[in-house]
Structure 1
Amino acid sequence: MSQIFQKPLKILLLSTSVGALGSGLGGGVELTLKSVAQALSRRGHSLTIVAPEGSVLAGVSLVPIAGTLQITAQTQGRDALVTIPQNSVLGNMWDYARQVQREYDLLFNFAYDWLPFYLTPFFERPIAHLVSMGSLTDAMDQMIEKVAVEFEGTIGVHSLAQAETFRFKNHCRNLQNGFDLSLYQFCSQPKNQLAWVGRIAPEKGLEDAVAAAEIVGIPLKIWGVIQDEAYWQKILADYPTAPIEYGGFLSTTELQQVLGESRALLMTPRWVEAFGNVAIESLACGVPVIAYRRGGPSEIVRDGETGWLVEPDSVDGLVSAIHKIDSLDRTLCRQQAEAHYSLEAFGDRLESWFAALLH
């Protein structure tokens, strides 16, 4: 039960609008929303999730909303215009929220999109915005900053590195993330394989991991949604002899089992990752993380203890770290996950945020 609130809160969670929950299209936001729901439910709060039609999330009241999905923000340039398609699922979700808002104490927005921030002043109930990405477009930055300044304490982020990308960094609350660690089994004896997990899209830099695997001659297992088919096909064409195997998009139960069998997880983002959920999933399985010293992963990985941080965009750096990976203690990886990224620790951070926001 909650240690901060005398009575449970009623919270309306509004999901990402780029894909149905369970599809993988929402990337790390899907996993974050699931963790938030678990952490808050365990403390007795009453939750309802509003999400695109076709969404699946067991154990929580879910309101499916029909409509056209939004374009992902990370595929656009800095001067990208705000776009809302006809019969927008985002618009429909927030129209629903407007109608039912008085039934809730708090609304919780997970969408990295202009509309929810623009609507904030027009709602009677407070809105907590969990921003899932760093600075991407000028239009988004301007709108989030307006809310951050006028509605102090309503902007949550996943890392200090993410906040640093914004002019309004001092108005952001660092929540990090948390997971149900009971779902992740510790594996002390890995197979001779490396892992890469994430959306297959240019900003994730998969080709660097493939190049490193080819140099060291260790099989690289790849899991995640292919968001950019042309990008994936180019990697296959550019590295025809690389020892890679694509395993599709897996559920948490399936992923943790095969991920845990890996000697290391490679994280090769070209952009500033807000956090890096898969880094925590990896550590929970006892798998060290080799990541570029960029964005959220640079705050998670303990260099020389639970993984290695290497120069961004350096394949040579990845190769050097792979050669040193067996010098790390896999039990330290699990211990770090338990100490900082459990649902209990995450729930504490969320409730503290809500208390400040509501009072």
Structure 2
Amino acid sequence: MRIGIISHLKHPIAEPFAGGLETHTFQLARMLRQRGHDVTLFATVRSDPDLGLEAICSETAIAEVGLSEASDIAFFREHHAYLSLMNSLRTRDFDIIQNNSLHYLPVSMADALPMPMVTTLHTPPFCWLESGVRLSDTTNHALVGVSHSIARQWAHVRSLDAVIPNGIDLNKFAFRPFADADPYLVWYGRIVPEKGLHLAMDAARHVGLPLRIAGPAHDEAYFRDEIQPRLGVHARYEGHMAHADLANVIG
């Protein structure tokens, strides 16, 4: 099959992964290609070229200007990139489009495509994406949630067509039958306030187990004010780890 995968544009789809969505998109594209499909990944310029990359934008989370101006620039970059992409897909011969973008334009323009599209919903509803889903009224577009919790949170907007949990590559994320001799907890992901790492650190201290932390510190002020003061005997920051190293720590 000829499969187009639409990524979000805030971070590259490449190791070390910024978070779970980047990991999911990377693994999906890689494994489909290994199974013999012709995959094109529509993503940012620094994404992995071995995934059949067709770059449509630079990373919108990387800004060299003030926060308010950067937010406006990112909005218009993403809008232009997705609008151009969706218009171009009208005349291309993909068998199916898989949408991981979390952006309103691909879902609201799905009815203009000659091929079916599947959108995977990775988050609860938020205003822009919810408005796009409400505008999408076509039998050519399926909505999939990554959990039953996500499906319940989207139920007031639209019933999802399926729940398909995120998968992992068991060759790279291997099962470890025996735990480490010294027990510890693990937290990994983007270090930003909404992920609640500071709460996990407090919980680890409360139960008396050390916490190993991995992930990119995307919010410097949050890391400085909330995370660094909590580091010490009960919590250790491992940095932004490669996938294999992270799998070993979690295993």
Farther off after superposition, 206-215 or 32-41: 32-41
* Structure 1 residue 41, shift from structure 2 partner: 2.9
Q: Which amino acid aligns with 2:149?
A: A
Match of 1:255 among 226, 246, 250: 246
Q: Which runs of 5+ in 2 are unaligned?
A: 63-70
Against the structure 1 CA distance between its residues 231 and 151, is the aligned structure 2 distance closer, same or farther, given a 3 Å change threshold?
farther
Structure 1 counterpart of 2:24: 32
**Is this contact kept in 2: 1:17–1:90, CA < 8 A?**
no
Against the structure 1 CA distance between its residues 87 and 171, is the aligned structure 2 distance closer, same or farther, given a 3 Å change threshold?
closer
Cα separation, 2, equivalents of 1:24 and 1:252: 7
**Is this contact kept in 1: 2:231–2:237, CA < 8 A?**
no
Match of 2:100 among 106, 110, 114: 110
**Is this contact kept in 2: 1:11–1:106, CA < 8 A?**
yes
Structure 2 counterpart of 1:63: 54
Structure 1 counterpart of 2:219: 228
Structure 1 counterpart of 2:167: 178
Give the % identical residues.
24
**Is this contact kept in 1: 2:45–2:59, CA < 8 A?**
no
Cα separation, 2, equivalents of 1:200 and 1:13: 26
Match of 1:127 among 101, 105, 117: 117
1:65-84 CA distances to partner (integer Å, 9 max, x unpaired)?
3346169xxxxxxxxxx967
Structure 1 counterpart of 2:67: none
**Is this contact kept in 2: 1:199–1:225, CA < 8 A?**
yes
How many residue pairs are counted as aligned between the two chains? 239
SS of the equivalent of 2:179 reads coil
Structure 2 counterpart of 1:50: 42
Against the structure 1 CA distance between its residues 94 and 26, is the aligned structure 2 distance closer, same or farther, given a 3 Å change threshold?
farther
**Is this contact kept in 2: 1:68–1:87, CA < 8 A?**
no
Match of 1:164 among 152, 156, 169: 152
Cα separation, 1, equivalents of 2:160 and 2:206: 44
Cα separation, 1, equivalents of 2:79 and 2:243: 27
Match of 1:203 among 182, 190, 194: 194
**Is this contact kept in 1: 2:10–2:61, CA < 8 A?**
yes
CA RMSD across the alignment: 2.8
Against the structure 1 CA distance between its residues 10 and 225, is the aligned structure 2 distance closer, same or farther, given a 3 Å change threshold?
same
Cα separation, 2, equivalents of 1:240 and 1:224: 15
**Is this contact kept in 2: 1:34–1:57, CA < 8 A?**
no
1:228-261 CA distances to partner (integer Å, 9 max, x unpaired)?
121122223653655211111212111111222x
1:195-222 CA distances to partner (integer Å, 9 max, x unpaired)?
1111111221111221122233332110
After TM superposition, list the pairs within 5 Å mapping 1:302-341 onto structure 2: none
After TM superposition, list the pairs within 5 Å mapping 1:344-355 onto structure 2: none
After TM superposition, list the pairs within 5 Å mapping 1:69-80 onto structure 2: 69=60
* Structure 1 residue 164, shift from structure 2 partner: 0.9
* Structure 1 residue 51, shift from structure 2 partner: 0.9
Against the structure 1 CA distance between its residues 160 and 257, is the aligned structure 2 distance closer, same or farther, given a 3 Å change threshold?
same
1:311-337 CA distances to partner (integer Å, 9 max, x unpaired)?
xxxxxxxxxxxxxxxxxxxxxxxxxxx
SS of the equivalent of 1:257 reads helix
Match of 1:155 among 143, 149, 161: 143
* Structure 1 residue 93, shift from structure 2 partner: 4.8
